Amino acid sequence: QVQLVESGGGLVQAGGSLRLSCAAAGRTFGNYFMAWFRQAPGKAREFVAAIGRNNGRAYYTEAAKGRFKISRENAEVTVVLQMDSLKLEDTAVYYCAARTSDYGAILSPGAYDYWGQGTQVTVSS
């Protein structure tokens, strides 16, 4: 069982930045394909970004390209989502997700085995 813990959410003005972190107690993420999803009130959970295991290839939704960056840091202890140029529509609960395979659907929440509890990101005008 992998327990994921997100941190770094908060309230920020439009155009600002936030840095979300995901950590798992007692283990590193080297063997896991990692992703960030988000869910706004009344909407389905949606894919934001992911990073592969060995090659570290990054994947982004169109809304995130050019503004968000996913990375592995601290010797694979944490996975970070750096979010810049935040917009009102980025407001959501952001979730960290993990799975052991690099292959398969990236966009589907059902393709991931482990989830964090979520961290709230609120962008104000």
Express each pLDDT in 110-119 by its tens digit. Answer: 999 999 999 9
Mean pLDDT of the chain: 92
Phi then psi for residue 71, to 5 deg, are: -155, 160
Strand duo 119-124 + 10-13: pairing = parallel
Indicate if the pLDDT at residue 26 is higher than 70. Answer: no
* Cα–Cα dist 4/61, whole Å: 22
* Cα–Cα dist 69/67, whole Å: 7
